[in-house]
Structure 1
Amino acid sequence: MRLLVWIIFLCVCKIAGGQELVSVEDSSMLKSEGQLTDSIQPSFIQTIDNYYLQWLQNQKKTDTYVDSAYIAEMLKTVPEFPDSLYLLRLDSLNPAINLSYNNIVRNFIDLYTVRKRMQVATMLGASEYYFPIFEEALAANCMPLELKYLPVIESALNPVARSRAGACGLWQFMYPTGKMYKLEINSFIDERFDPVKSTQAAVRYLNDLYSIYEDWILVIAAYNCGPGNVNKAIRRSGGKKNYWDIYYHLPKETRGYVPAFIAAIYAFNYSKEHNIYPIESTLPPICDTIVVEDALHFDQICKNMDISVEELRDVNPQYTKDIIPAGLGKSYVLKMPYNYVGNFIDNQDTIFAYKRNVYFDNSDRTANPNDRFKRYAHVASVTGDKARLVYTVRSGDVPGAIAAKFNVRLADLKYWNNLNRRLTIRVGQKLVVYVPNSKVGKYKDKASYRGKVTNETDVPKVETIDGEFVYYTVKKGENLWTIAKKYPGVTNRDIMRWNGISENDVKDIRPGQKLKIKI
């Protein structure tokens, strides 16, 4: 009897919607791997997976996104439809951008609705927070709202996504392009990660591209590979300006970019038809902004309010060191969940005053306004309860693994050791790591590596005075400038002031002399 009911149910579904229900577990009924990925670059598939993994690593409770009953239901069956229905659905969206349909687009639709169902469900949840930001900026500039799907294929709606090439944020801005469109990028803030500022910059960039091509599909292609490559493709095709006419003259990775864009629009608008449902995002449904006019550390907020650092980072990803570098006439915006804003305003005097001398050194270091950020240099997670260890880089080490070994943030490891954007390290290099005093015993053995190394660099050997100062022993050939370079944020003038050294005494610095260094 149950079998008869099930057969009738399948027949009704097929007659009513023209669809077939295919079990994920029955691989013989799905498209083969080769058919599914035809015309899809492996690098594109890997990018989706990488950004999804980055998103998972940023979640506080990953298990809640894997074990939910409705996710299991979502993954149980995969509907399949005929091409005519895909075409009809795309046409019924009445888009302002021409959405073509062919086998290449179909392959990308299958990628999103079959293989990457979990990622699409995650992005659907995140879109409830980010799409209103995109739509507001696009509508204000009278641009097609369909462009809001570009970050889906750029970053999988991960605001802290980083590509191997160095592109960052939801809209994947490279450093030069970000600076060109007035995004602030320095040691403390990277507005490529700011959902609002980066969206405004992306809108200006897309508008500039439209003034060149007057065709949104070509604009989308140029956003991916640059206008230079699109111009070359147009010339090589004999001056044709239709995307599909210049398709084979574009870089391989860009050939899939526009089809992926069309497929993303389809997958988001017809997710329910494919049995894909949003995974609820941890982002707050309503936020408000506060103008901050003096330097503020996230810890100062969290110690005085019932909000976590992770919650602040989620809605303020642009502050890469958990510091809002305001002051000296410069103000910044802090975004918070709406229900916390009143509490912050009522207690802001207490919040700003909390351990002010611990988090910020307000002494006058220089009269040069360009060095104003130096007064925040020592606050990157280094407080009085931290011990300083030195780790020697071994063969096969990478910065991310070293940070994980000591349970510290990669951003902090990078800051403590002045690592460049490429995070280049070499075997034998000494890296400074700060760990809680209570965990020194746990991490000491990991730091004291005594194997044979090459290119060993000279690293300061110090004796601890207290939680604030250390002693440094001067070596032969050293001066105050070379010693200061060993400590991020410290200048030779700082060492002179801490040790009562005058201009006339500088030349008398000698090997073996001990100097106080503030950490």
Structure 2
Amino acid sequence: MKHFRFLFIDKRYFTLLLAILFFSPCQGSSQEPETDTLSIKSSPNIDVFTRSLDSLVNVWYATTTPGLVVDTIYENAFTHSKDFNDSILIRRLGKIVSAFPLTYNNHVKSFIKLYTLERREQVETMLGLSDYYFPLFEAELDAAGLPLELKYLPVIESALNPRAFSRAGASGLWQFMYYTGKQYGLEINSYVDERRDPHKSTRAAVKFLSDLYDIYGDWQLVIAAYNCGPGNVNRAIRRSGGKRNFWELFYLLPRETRGYVPAFIAATYTFHYHKEHNLKPRPTLLPVATDTVMISKPLHFSQVAEMMNIPIDIVRQLNPQYRRDIIPAQNQSYPLRLAFHQSTFFVSREDTIYNYNRSKFFPNNQLVIKPGSTTAGSAAPPPGKAKIYYTVKSGDVVGLIADWFDVYTSSLRYWNNIRRNIIRVGQKLVIYVDKDKVDYYKEIARQKSGYSSSSADNQLADSGKDGDYIYYTVGHGDSVWSIAKKYPGVTDTDILRLNNIKNARSIKPGQKLKIKPKS
């Protein structure tokens, strides 16, 4: 209890106490710990983590935007089983210089398989994004004297997606809850959410991790507490009779947290040995060298994008902390991050950019968008685009709708003021499509709106059988991952291997895929 006496003496520790009280427990924390033995194939911990990973990386830069993440072709995608020989994995982990105990067991092995076999495409995307984010993480961690391996936390927290928003309300690369973010100095209001600012949220995360280490003095417990909250870890310690080893507390922790430390070890392994598993970073168009300019007047991303000929989604990705594509610089200045050479161009044309379409975006130089209203930019179609509507039906999700209409997931959310990917059956969504393809997309909207879940069942039932196999006809908006989810036990890797497909994005509507359902 002496740690908690210090919390009331030092202001920094008082802040941490408040964070402990309001840090939301992770999913499943209210359930009693289970004591069943976990297997590599059927671990409930890895199932929970897999669903979370699928959700986090199903974002516009990873699945629907060939302009940001450069597509690659899978070559020799499937690792030989010898690479999962226990002695090889133990030897490789032992060669990694780390302040963390890189324990090896079946839990860790199952997550290594998840990263290197089952989620290869997602991991390759994260490997590419790490070129942009890791130098930032390492600089802040090094300045605070923390282990650089903590840079892998955002890999398992957000899949390196600064716009990630969990069902519990955590946001950003480091997945801060609202109250914890405020306690660590992050600004959160109707226009700005610094939990999504890669630089400021990283500094806040470093402070939070430092405070947790002062309490536990053990990095495995620190990252467990980061995931589910110190309250859950403290409860597990009390119920264990005072034990302070993660693996001894394993079954007393919430289910998701049981997979968190193994996932962290597996992420560390995967990023060190991705070449040995033929995992190749997918290049991104995010500039490695960036700089900021301070904005002193309200500015809309469209003004920047159109005057500087930059795709607006690149501006959004470099500045994810601005919720409505608006920098609300009325009473204070805010930073705008651009590629290094673009920042110098902005300074040379600053007044021209401010004045471009100013009366449209800021009548009387005022912020006019009310919190909760439709975001700016949805009233008039973007250049070369036309407005169509799609009515949401049961079973629809934002990512699939964006795929059907070949738009960014972030744009679909932006046009319709969608938060947390929550949409309602019967909701009418605005979608901007190419003017010369309006009829094509209207037909897709008509077909999809009338495509009921029962017709989906009929499609599966009528797919055609050949011995132990089923043939599935690819429809508009289908992906290998979404097709695999229709068949319990079947993974996207199974479908790729069975159909000799090297590039998961190469499937086309009308193509027949062979599937072997699990018995």
Asked if these proteins are the same fold (TM beyond 0.5), I'd say yes
Take 1:121 and 1:262, find their aligned partners in 2: how far apart are those partners?
Answer: 18
Structure 2 unaligned runs (5+)?
1-37, 451-519
Partner of 1:140: 143
* Structure 1 residues 315 and 77: alpha-carbon distance in aligned structure 2, compared to 1, 3 A threshold: farther
Partner of 1:42: 47
- How far does the alpha carbon of each residue in 1:194-251 deviate from its partner, in whole angstroms, 9 at most, with x for none? 1111111111111121122111110110111111111111111111111111111111
Q: Does 338-347 or 237-246 show the bigger shift? A: 338-347
2:221–2:233 contact (8 Å) kept in structure 1: yes
Q: Which amino acid aligns with 1:134?
A: F
Take 2:218 and 2:316, find their aligned partners in 1: how far apart are those partners?
Answer: 37
3-state DSSP of counterpart to 1:334: strand
The CA deviation at 1:263 is: 1.1
**Are residue 57 (structure 1) and residue 53 (structure 2) matched?**
no
* Structure 1 residues 133 and 79: alpha-carbon distance in aligned structure 2, compared to 1, 3 A threshold: farther
Partner of 1:162: 165
1:37–1:107 contact (8 Å) kept in structure 2: no
Normalised by the length of structure 1, the TM-score is 0.68
Q: Which amino acid aligns with 1:279?
A: R
1:287–1:335 contact (8 Å) kept in structure 2: yes
2:290–2:338 contact (8 Å) kept in structure 1: yes
2:83–2:89 contact (8 Å) kept in structure 1: no
The CA deviation at 1:267 is: 1.1
1:284–1:337 contact (8 Å) kept in structure 2: yes
Partner of 1:465: none
Q: Which amino acid aligns with 1:339?
A: H
Higher relative contact order (CA 8 A, sep 6+): 2
2:77–2:278 contact (8 Å) kept in structure 1: yes
Q: Which amino acid aligns with 2:277?
A: H
The CA deviation at 1:144 is: 0.9
Take 2:425 and 2:84, find their aligned partners in 1: how far apart are those partners?
Answer: 53
Take 2:146 and 2:69, find their aligned partners in 1: how far apart are those partners?
Answer: 39
After superposition, residues 508-519 of structure 1 pair within 5 angstroms as: none
**Are residue 181 (structure 1) and residue 195 (structure 2) matched?**
no
Take 1:58 and 1:436, find their aligned partners in 2: how far apart are those partners?
Answer: 14
| Matched positions, count | 405
* Structure 1 residues 81 and 162: alpha-carbon distance in aligned structure 2, compared to 1, 3 A threshold: same
**Are residue 240 (structure 1) and residue 240 (structure 2) matched?**
no
Take 1:314 and 1:216, find their aligned partners in 2: how far apart are those partners?
Answer: 31
The CA deviation at 1:181 is: 2.1
1:74–1:277 contact (8 Å) kept in structure 2: no
Tell me how large the CA RMSD over aligned residues is.
3.7
Take 1:93 and 1:219, find their aligned partners in 2: how far apart are those partners?
Answer: 20
Greater Cα radius of gyration, structure 1 or 2: 1
Q: Which amino acid aligns with 2:205?
A: A
Q: Which amino acid aligns with 2:354?
A: F
Take 1:103 and 1:145, find their aligned partners in 2: how far apart are those partners?
Answer: 25
Partner of 1:471: none
Normalised by the length of structure 2, the TM-score is 0.68
* Structure 1 residues 182 and 426: alpha-carbon distance in aligned structure 2, compared to 1, 3 A threshold: farther
**Residue of structure 1 aligned with 2:333, choices 331, 334, 341:** 331
Take 2:433 and 2:129, find their aligned partners in 1: how far apart are those partners?
Answer: 35
Take 2:410 and 2:160, find their aligned partners in 1: how far apart are those partners?
Answer: 21
Q: Does 201-210 or 376-385 show the bigger shift? A: 376-385
3-state DSSP of counterpart to 2:126: helix
Take 2:243 and 2:323, find their aligned partners in 1: how far apart are those partners?
Answer: 44
- How far does the alpha carbon of each residue in 1:158-180 deviate from its partner, in whole angstroms, 9 at most, with x for none? 22223233322211222232223
**Residue of structure 2 aligned with 1:256, choices 242, 256, 259:** 259
After superposition, residues 409-448 of structure 1 pair within 5 angstroms as: 423=422, 425=424, 433=430
**Are residue 109 (structure 1) and residue 85 (structure 2) matched?**
no
Take 1:271 and 1:117, find their aligned partners in 2: how far apart are those partners?
Answer: 10
Q: Which amino acid aligns with 1:346?
A: S
2:358–2:365 contact (8 Å) kept in structure 1: no
3-state DSSP of counterpart to 1:290: strand
* Structure 1 residues 73 and 441: alpha-carbon distance in aligned structure 2, compared to 1, 3 A threshold: closer
1:398–1:425 contact (8 Å) kept in structure 2: no
- How far does the alpha carbon of each residue in 1:114-160 deviate from its partner, in whole angstroms, 9 at most, with x for none? 22233222221111111111111111111111111111111121222
After superposition, residues 222-233 of structure 1 pair within 5 angstroms as: 222-233=225-236
- % identical equivalent positions: 48
* Structure 1 residues 144 and 381: alpha-carbon distance in aligned structure 2, compared to 1, 3 A threshold: same
After superposition, residues 259-274 of structure 1 pair within 5 angstroms as: 259-274=262-277
* Structure 1 residues 79 and 172: alpha-carbon distance in aligned structure 2, compared to 1, 3 A threshold: farther
**Are residue 354 (structure 1) and residue 384 (structure 2) matched?**
no
1:159–1:194 contact (8 Å) kept in structure 2: yes
**Residue of structure 2 aligned with 1:380, choices 355, 376, 379:** 376
Structure 1 unaligned runs (5+)?
1-32, 365-370, 452-519
The CA deviation at 1:382 is: 4.1
1:190–1:318 contact (8 Å) kept in structure 2: yes
After superposition, residues 443-482 of structure 1 pair within 5 angstroms as: none
